[in-house]
Amino acid sequence: MSKVGIKSYSYCLNHAPETGSHYGGTPWEASHSGGKEQEYLNALPQHLQSYDHALHYAPNQTYIGGISYEEFEAIPAPWVDKPLPDEKSKRYGKFGELMPEDEFLGLISACDEFELVWLEKSFAESVSKKLAEDPVITEAIVKRVVRPKNMQELADIEKEVAERDALPLYHDNKVVGCVRMGHPTDHCLTAHVLMENLAGKASGVLALLHLLKNSGLNPLDLDFVIECSEEGAGDVGQRAGGNFAKAIAEVAGCTNASGCDVRGFCAGPVNAMINAAAQVASGARKNIAVVAGGSIPKLYMNSRDHVKKNLLALEDCVGSFAVLLVPDDGTMPVMRLDVLGKHTVGAGGAPQAVTSALTFEPLQTAGLTFSDVDRFAPELQNHEITEPAGAGNVPLANIKMIAALAVMKKAIEKPAMMDFIKKHGTIGYAHTQGHIPAGVPFIGPACELIKEGKIKRAMIIGKGSLFLARLTNLADGASFLIEAPEPVQAQAASVSKDDIKAMILEALSEIAGKLG
Amino acid sequence: MDLQNQQRVKDAGEKFGTDCVVILGSSDAEGAEIYAETVTAGDPTFAGPLAGVSLELPVYHVFDPIIRAECDPAAWEEQISMMEMVLDPDALAEAVKGMREQYSKNVIEG
């Protein structure tokens, strides 16, 4: 079996402007620059987006499935000054939700097992009530928000911040809690690291809960979880030991599941999908949820440029996603395992080599050509965020490279390049959360378009920047195809034939026995 | 230009002087211009090791005809021709040329 079914998917955002403007990588670095960047830090709060504005922002609604990808494609950028109408700007979309920051802090607290998160009592009580209204948040999670060990008086929280290196959590510009350090000397367990990891865990939990709702799967029937974010959880002896997957499954109530983490920078999610699909296809697992939470350090990553250019700083959401893979039964869109893009060690890092390894080579192996793929989904960063920061339009640059390669391989004529780009490309709408935009946001829309009979095939592409870890200078990437299902009929026919044969043999042996 | 690359260019510039040629591969003209300024006049953002350091190195974009002519055509075809179709080679070469003419001490003689 070289195909697995894509049963369901979920995509969520956690609005986190206050957390981000304190602990996002860029603001955090600026606040530790010895006052050199005070002007930027003073200006940043005036560039933040309200929750209501974030709800009306078309790329966010596309991510959570509040509007369809086709509706989004019909709205030309810039989107920031084209708020969606109220009826298309709800908290809950077809794929997931955009959770407000106070509830996110409550969810982070619910995900804490080691008394690391303290919330001020009245704040904890108020957000637990709000979380109880969320259709995916379980009663058990609501109760965890108000565990006595996670609720403290404001004075105690302030003392913990002042005296014991805890980091304050904010809502409406007031301190409403803190994240405490996990160890007095271990730099892998500082309050800053633990906040990142707990936020990653909490956003992953939200995505998994929505996945369970969207698929109708009983949490007890989930077999395995593969987590694929870019966070590293561990202590000084093993600084990225893991295991986010089991930690997330535990909070989501998936007590019969096990799990492990897969890493590979932005190529992590595509590699996790391939890993999960192979385990389901082989029968090793009954089903697998591929899950990733999001990243606090990526919040406001490009905000220096947004502030400088007097724009809204839009990088205010922690992103997450989950996909449920099950055996192919001929009714669901499928992921093919026989056509995988693989960037080898020897392939080289030139864009041409990477694009060829991830698109042309697997397609050629499968006897397909570029135009057989209805949509290519490479890195899907929202270009309204990246362009003002000088990083260009990443999805457009990628589809241009694919089109140019198609010309070089004589799959299309050069004058047809622009048409190819328009017809086969995708427009980015994902937050700049590293692994989150890496092709995977389009799994949901691709499956929806396949189910509606509008496309037959999409390619999901993830690329990783391995040089960041200073281990190797190699490029990296992986890709796979999603296709429309094919009815599974041959198998049914042969089974019934075998059944008949067995029944005849059984009857004959019975007769033979009686004769004897 | 990131701080590490600035340091590497600074080290090479100090070791080999203005015979050391910098070849840029930036995909956007604005970025190419800033990188070119960084390795000639100094870091305009005053953030890195080349802040206030004028190396005056000869700087070219890889798409400059003079560099293209130096390249092995087969390697060019295999590694760069696709990007040549995607990007605007003339605009990139021009962006770097402007800085080179203003600040570079040496140039490659064509």
Chain B residues with CB under 8 Å of A414 CB are 85
Q: Which of B5, B78, B82, B85 to mutate to test the interface with A (most CBs of A within 10 A)?
A: B82
Of B28, B81, B85, the CB nearest to A390: B28
Residue A513 lies in a domain: no
* Residue A359 scores a pLDDT above 80: yes
Q: What is the pLDDT of residue A390?
A: 84
Q: Are residues A369 and A309 in the same domain?
A: no
Q: Domain limits of chain B? A: 3-103
Peptide bond into A243 cis (omega under 30): yes
> Distance from B77 to chain A by nearest Cα, in Å?
10
Contact criterion met (CB < 8 Å) for A352 and B78: yes
For residue A473, count CB atoms less than 10 angstroms from its CB and return exposed for 0-12, middle for 13-18, buried for 19 or more: exposed
Q: What is the mean pLDDT of residues A110-136?
A: 98
Any residues with CB less than 8 A from the CB of A242 and at least 6 apart, and which? A227, A233, A234, A260, A261
Q: What is the mean pLDDT of residues A270-295?
A: 98
A236-253 pLDDT tens trace: 999 999 999 999 999 999
Q: What is the pLDDT of residue B2?
A: 86
Chain B residues with CB under 8 Å of A404 CB are 82-83, 85-86
Q: What is the pLDDT of residue A490?
A: 53
Backbone angles phi, psi at A120, to 5 degrees: -65, 140
Q: What is the mean pLDDT of residues B25-52?
A: 93
Contact criterion met (CB < 8 Å) for B85 and A353: no
Q: What is the pLDDT of residue A487?
A: 84
- Residue for token pair 């086969």: A424
Beta bridge partners of A459: A376, A481
Instruction: Tally Cβ neighbours within 10 Å of residue A331.
Output: 12
CATH number reported for the structural domain that contains residue A481 in this entry: 3.40.47
Contact criterion met (CB < 8 Å) for A401 and B30: no
CB pairs under 8 A between A and B: 38
Residue A294 lies in a domain: yes
> Distance from A390 to chain B by nearest Cα, in Å?
7
A396 touches B at CB < 8 Å: no
CA A431 to chain centre: 10
Contact criterion met (CB < 8 Å) for B86 and A407: no
A127-158 pLDDT tens trace: 999 999 999 999 999 999 999 999 999 999 99
Q: Are residues A179 and A30 in the same domain?
A: yes
> Distance from B30 to chain A by nearest Cα, in Å?
8
Q: Are residues A317 and A351 in the same domain?
A: no
Of B30, B31, B82, the CB nearest to A404: B82
Contact criterion met (CB < 8 Å) for B27 and A401: no
Q: Name the average pLDDT for chain A.
A: 95
Contact criterion met (CB < 8 Å) for B30 and A405: no
Contact criterion met (CB < 8 Å) for B85 and A404: yes
Last residue of a domain, one of A303, A327, A351: A327
Q: Are residues A428 and A457 in the same domain?
A: yes
* Residue B110 scores a pLDDT above 70: no
* Residue A495 scores a pLDDT above 90: no
Last residue of a domain, one of A263, A292, A327: A327
Contact criterion met (CB < 8 Å) for B80 and A352: yes
A407 touches B at CB < 8 Å: yes
A351 touches B at CB < 8 Å: yes
Q: What is the mean pLDDT of residues A53-77?
A: 98
Q: What is the pLDDT of residue A17?
A: 98
Contact criterion met (CB < 8 Å) for B82 and A390: no
Q: Are residues A65 and A110 in the same domain?
A: yes
CA A124 to CA A130: how far, in whole Å? 10
* Residue A492 scores a pLDDT above 80: no
Chain A residues with CB under 8 Å of B80 CB are 350, 352
> Distance from B75 to chain A by nearest Cα, in Å?
11
Q: Are residues A91 and A224 in the same domain?
A: yes
CA A217 to CA A249: how far, in whole Å? 13
- Look up residue A68 and give its amino acid: S
CA A370 to CA A366: how far, in whole Å? 11
Q: Are residues A31 and A130 in the same domain?
A: yes
> Distance from A336 to chain B by nearest Cα, in Å?
28
Q: What is the pLDDT of residue A488?
A: 74
Q: What is the pLDDT of residue A1?
A: 59
Q: Are residues A20 and A157 in the same domain?
A: yes
The chain B residue lying nearest A355, using CA atoms, is B82
Q: Are residues A313 and A423 in the same domain?
A: no
Last residue of a domain, one of A327, A352, A385: A327
Domain hosting residue A457, numbered range: 336-491
A219 touches B at CB < 8 Å: no
Q: What is the DSSP letter of A350?
A: S
Confidence of residue A507 (pLDDT cuts 50, 70, 90): confident
Contact A363, A412 (CB under 8 A): no
A372-402 pLDDT tens trace: 999 999 999 999 999 999 888 999 999 999 9
Say which residue, A191 or B108, is predicted with more confidence.
A191
> Distance from B89 to chain A by nearest Cα, in Å?
14
State percent of chain A over pLDDT 90: 92
Contact A268, A293 (CB under 8 A): no
A358 touches B at CB < 8 Å: no
Chain B residues with CB under 8 Å of A392 CB are 27-28
> Distance from A355 to chain B by nearest Cα, in Å?
10
> Distance from B76 to chain A by nearest Cα, in Å?
11
The chain A residue lying nearest B84, using CA atoms, is A404
Contact criterion met (CB < 8 Å) for B82 and A408: yes
Contact criterion met (CB < 8 Å) for A353 and B79: yes
* Residue A8 scores a pLDDT above 90: yes
A135 touches B at CB < 8 Å: no
Chain B residues with CB under 8 Å of A407 CB are 85
Confidence of residue A217 (pLDDT cuts 50, 70, 90): very high
Contact criterion met (CB < 8 Å) for B30 and A390: yes
- Look up residue A336 and give its amino acid: R
Q: Are residues A29 and A156 in the same domain?
A: yes
A349 touches B at CB < 8 Å: no
- DSSP E strand boundaries for A303-354: 317-327, 334-342
Contact criterion met (CB < 8 Å) for B82 and A392: no
Buried b (16+ CB within 10 A) or exposed e, A26-45: bbbebbeeeeebeebbebbe
CA A137 to CA A282: how far, in whole Å? 33
Confidence of residue A295 (pLDDT cuts 50, 70, 90): very high
> Distance from B84 to chain A by nearest Cα, in Å?
9
Give the count of domains, chain A: 2
State percent of chain A over pLDDT 70: 97
The highest-confidence range among A449-458, A464-473, B10-19, by mean pLDDT, is A449-458
A77 touches B at CB < 8 Å: no
Confidence of residue A504 (pLDDT cuts 50, 70, 90): confident
